[in-house]
A and B are shown apart, each in its own frame.
Chain A
């Protein structure tokens, strides 16, 4: 034992959790809904997701190299952004869209704003918002019709362009509840088919069941807590019940939670560590704020779905909320704070 021993600062033992482990676990939780979407919409979905993930990781590596920062692409945060972005764009779009979205999300939205930990907006949603503004037609019409069982390769082989159809929320908004019922069936059938995933929409909008299961798994691992999902979905349900019907208190809260990206937003987007408050009270206010803005946009705004913009609008308030809702100190000094 010649020479001096290495030293390091306390604590010398640390928990086995790491950023890498968290990010890749969340990515893994998104795999089951992705696979179900492949089954429902065809292999195109897998290609879109693959392009999105790979371009986000590539943009991350190139951005970090170009900006002279350590390359941390292995930590999985860019892969997660890619996965989430694929979940919120229509599966029938051109491959160019996720590539452009990745540049917006990762280079501009993340690294030009300081890199991981310092970005103000959720990168995946920033990518989607950018695509929605630049490719409004593709981003609102390139939905795929659910395939019949086992026909996952039929669309891919047919060589036809994306079959355009309308999402449930769009039908509800533009054609009214009657048309909606005509197209998607009685309430009981709707709940079941929406929960399991047989309806047009983004990958992340299709299977509520798998999204919720993944979210519950993340809660069990203590990667996320109930505060944001519960306050967010609770607010959407409550406000839709009050204002979402033809008269007050006749809205359908369950339908509101099952449609659009509410579940994906609540469990995976709004819970993004970097862009959400750290304090539990702040998280509940944040979740409720997103829920309220979502309902406002859905009912009064120009878009059928509002959770993407609702989250982006609440993102910059995270630090403000953390400043308002500070953790409670153990005990103040005698005579109060200075």
Chain B
């Protein structure tokens, strides 16, 4: 096996907590009565609804489109009738425009037949990726087709597949790699063809030896196709799955501040996004469902669920046997970067990789005290920033002056706040600083 790599600067080792779900096979969740599909799932301008109230839709029909900017279209995750074009709860924006579909439980499952993609041109493949509404489903929500068209002055030579899954609890990518390894590798070949390159490295943290083995076997099966697809085991360290850290760990290249990975000749896609590319190109299936890890000590039956985009948390809770009485927080996303939600009527989006039901024993919501300048945040920050200074400046009403500490290079991984013994909400200070510094 290849030597284990990692990024050199900073990082933390939170308890992995993956045992709860890592051995549970992906389970298909039955269709809920209603789906709420948020129109702005990706980074960029949100979609405009293309269906009106009472319209009949079948699975895969277009329900939203975007005319300008980076966006991708949106599709009906299931057959049914449009109940409303209105608003839904949103983990960050509180409320966001959405399309609500009353699911027709009687409609037959849509069948998808694999097709041969080898004869498609790279332009045709790219259009299929766009038309299927594919975005980075690891969490960022950046439209995939945009990443596949790097600026012409930055030749790309390497495709990295992100299978690090460094956030605690989440096992969705892990299960995808175990159960859909050939599809992911096929998806990688499609991505390589679109990019016009041959070299792909799949990075997986070595707390998933079974996934490393499955993916290695699948990648070895492609020998002789003219592609070089290899698996690179990574040391377990958060935030390994961050684009810049992953690129540095595997290739040793450093993406400059404010630049895209293509500046160093690399494009990164999540393994589950790659699976979605396979679905889009080979099965002509738009991105309407995804694997979501349901975990935490506050839910009765943790699971890895294949759910339709738009499924509400309340339906998932019901399917997973309800919550336990000592539930304290419901978090969409991982425990390091996810958002706590205030109610369960919020729908799953394309970028939700987990829903965590955390008890008081699992979370730490201790109040903050003054910064004691221990400097642990400096050692934890993978970007070489000064979180303690940003915090003190924000508290002193000088958020505008925090650019000198690199506040705009912060991607809010939370490593600093994780180690802070004074329990300071350093990520929140950074968010405030960014808002105020942008305004000034």
Contact partner of B329 (CB less than 8 A), chosen from A1, A7, A331, is A7
Q: Are A273 and B374 in contact (CB under 8 A)?
A: yes
Partner-binding segment picked from B22-30, B136-144, B414-422 = B414-422
Kindly state whether residue A75 has any CB partner on chain B within 8 Å: yes
Q: Are A12 and B370 in contact (CB under 8 A)?
A: no
Kindly state whether residue A160 has any CB partner on chain B within 8 Å: no
Give residues of chain A (98-136) contacting chain B, Cβ–Cβ below 8 Å. 115-118
Q: Name A17's closest neighbour in chain B (CB-CB).
A: B421
Give residues of chain B (158-187) contacting chain A, Cβ–Cβ below 8 Å. 168
Please indicate the chain B residues that have their CB under 8 angstroms from the CB of A329 in the complex.
257, 383-385, 406, 409
Kindly state whether residue B427 has any CB partner on chain A within 8 Å: yes
Partner-binding segment picked from A18-26, A81-89, A169-177, A301-309 = A18-26
Q: A1-B323, A7-B342, A278-B375 are in contact. Are A333 and B257 (CB under 8 A)?
A: yes
Partner-binding segment picked from B8-16, B188-196, B282-290 = B8-16
Q: How far is the CB of A63 from chain B (nearest CB, A)?
A: 14
Please indicate the chain B residues that have their CB under 8 angstroms from the CB of A75 in the complex.
369
Q: How far is the CB of A82 from chain B (nearest CB, A)?
A: 17
Cβ proximity bits A4-37 to B, threshold 8 Å, 1 near / 0 not = 1111111111110111011000000000000000
- Once bound together, how far apart are the Cα atoms of A159 and B343, in whole Å? 72
- Once bound together, how far apart are the Cα atoms of A21 and B417, in whole Å? 17
Kindly state whether residue A334 has any CB partner on chain B within 8 Å: yes
Q: Are A8 and B244 in contact (CB under 8 A)?
A: no
Contact partner of B343 (CB less than 8 A), chosen from A4, A17, A117, is A4
Please indicate the chain B residues that have their CB under 8 angstroms from the CB of A9 in the complex.
340, 425, 427-428
Q: Are B372 and A273 in contact (CB under 8 A)?
A: yes
- Once bound together, how far apart are the Cα atoms of A10 and B429, in whole Å? 11
Cβ proximity bits B355-387 to A, threshold 8 Å, 1 near / 0 not = 010100011111001111111001001111110
Q: Name B14's closest neighbour in chain A (CB-CB).
A: A13
Kindly state whether residue B339 has any CB partner on chain A within 8 Å: yes
Categorize the interface residue count of chain B: 35 or more
Q: Are A327 and B365 in contact (CB under 8 A)?
A: no
Kindly state whether residue B212 has any CB partner on chain A within 8 Å: no
Q: Are B378 and A13 in contact (CB under 8 A)?
A: no
Please indicate the chain B residues that have their CB under 8 angstroms from the CB of A58 in the complex.
none
Contact partner of B385 (CB less than 8 A), chosen from A5, A7, A327, A334, is A327
Kindly state whether residue B2 has any CB partner on chain A within 8 Å: no
Q: Name B416's closest neighbour in chain A (CB-CB).
A: A11
Q: Name B169's closest neighbour in chain A (CB-CB).
A: A13
Partner-binding segment picked from B69-77, B110-118, B330-338 = B330-338
- Once bound together, how far apart are the Cα atoms of A72 and B368, in whole Å? 12
Q: Are B384 and A12 in contact (CB under 8 A)?
A: no
Kindly state whether residue A332 has any CB partner on chain B within 8 Å: yes
Give residues of chain A (286-338) contacting chain B, Cβ–Cβ below 8 Å. 326-334
Please indicate the chain A residues that have their CB under 8 angstroms from the CB of B197 in the complex.
none
Q: Are A332 and B256 in contact (CB under 8 A)?
A: yes
Please indicate the chain A residues that have their CB under 8 angstroms from the CB of B255 in the complex.
331
Q: Are B366 and A332 in contact (CB under 8 A)?
A: no
Q: Are A10 and B256 in contact (CB under 8 A)?
A: no
Kindly state whether residue A274 has any CB partner on chain B within 8 Å: yes
- Once bound together, how far apart are the Cα atoms of A26 and B369, in whole Å? 19
- Once bound together, how far apart are the Cα atoms of A126 and B385, in whole Å? 32
Q: How far is the CB of B319 from chain A (nearest CB, A)?
A: 16
Q: How far is the CB of A16 from chain B (nearest CB, A)?
A: 8
> DSSP majority for the B interface?
loop
Kindly state whether residue A279 has any CB partner on chain B within 8 Å: yes
Q: Are B423 and A18 in contact (CB under 8 A)?
A: yes
- Once bound together, how far apart are the Cα atoms of A333 and B406, in whole Å? 11
Contact partner of B337 (CB less than 8 A), chosen from A11, A274, A331, A333, is A11
Q: How far is the CB of B219 from chain A (nearest CB, A)?
A: 29
Q: Are A278 and B256 in contact (CB under 8 A)?
A: no
Q: A5-B330, A5-B341 are in contact. Are A13 and B259 (CB under 8 A)?
A: no
Give residues of chain B (254-306) contacting chain A, Cβ–Cβ below 8 Å. 254-259, 263
Please indicate the chain A residues that have their CB under 8 angstroms from the CB of B107 in the complex.
none
Q: Are B369 and A22 in contact (CB under 8 A)?
A: no
- Once bound together, how far apart are the Cα atoms of A327 and B383, in whole Å? 9
Kindly state whether residue B104 has any CB partner on chain A within 8 Å: no
Please indicate the chain A residues that have their CB under 8 angstroms from the CB of B327 in the complex.
1
- Once bound together, how far apart are the Cα atoms of A117 and B412, in whole Å? 24
Q: How far is the CB of A283 from chain B (nearest CB, A)?
A: 8
Please indicate the chain A residues that have their CB under 8 angstroms from the CB of B338 in the complex.
10, 12
Kindly state whether residue B206 has any CB partner on chain A within 8 Å: no
Cβ proximity bits B408-440 to A, threshold 8 Å, 1 near / 0 not = 010010100111111101011000000000000
- Once bound together, how far apart are the Cα atoms of A279 and B377, in whole Å? 10
Kindly state whether residue B328 has any CB partner on chain A within 8 Å: yes
Q: How far is the CB of A152 from chain B (nearest CB, A)?
A: 37
- Once bound together, how far apart are the Cα atoms of A34 and B427, in whole Å? 41
Kindly state whether residue B55 has any CB partner on chain A within 8 Å: no
Central interface residue in B12, B255, B340, by most chain A CB within 10 Å:
B340
Q: Are A15 and B386 in contact (CB under 8 A)?
A: no
Q: How far is the CB of A320 from chain B (nearest CB, A)?
A: 14
Cβ proximity bits B239-256 to A, threshold 8 Å, 1 near / 0 not = 000001000000000111
Q: Name B330's closest neighbour in chain A (CB-CB).
A: A5
Contact partner of A330 (CB less than 8 A), chosen from B328, B342, B383, is B383
Q: How far is the CB of B328 from chain A (nearest CB, A)?
A: 7
Q: Are A12 and B421 in contact (CB under 8 A)?
A: no
Q: How far is the CB of B283 from chain A (nearest CB, A)?
A: 35
* A interface residue numbers (CB < 8 A to B): 1, 4-15, 17-19, 21-22, 72, 75, 77, 115-118, 273-274, 276-279, 326-334
9 more A-B residue pairs beyond the given contacts A22-B421, A329-B385, A333-B259, with a C-beta to C-beta distance below 8 A: A7-B339, A10-B335, A10-B339, A12-B362, A18-B422, A115-B370, A273-B374, A278-B374, A331-B254
Q: List 23 A-B contacts (CB under 8 A).
A: A6-B342, A7-B339, A8-B363, A9-B425, A9-B428, A10-B427, A11-B335, A11-B414, A12-B331, A13-B14, A13-B418, A15-B14, A17-B421, A75-B369, A115-B370, A117-B422, A273-B373, A278-B375, A326-B386, A327-B381, A330-B257, A330-B409, A331-B255
* B interface residue numbers (CB < 8 A to A): 9, 12, 14-15, 168, 244, 254-259, 263, 323, 327-331, 335-344, 356, 358, 362-366, 369-375, 378, 381-386, 388, 406, 409, 412, 414, 417-423, 425, 427-428
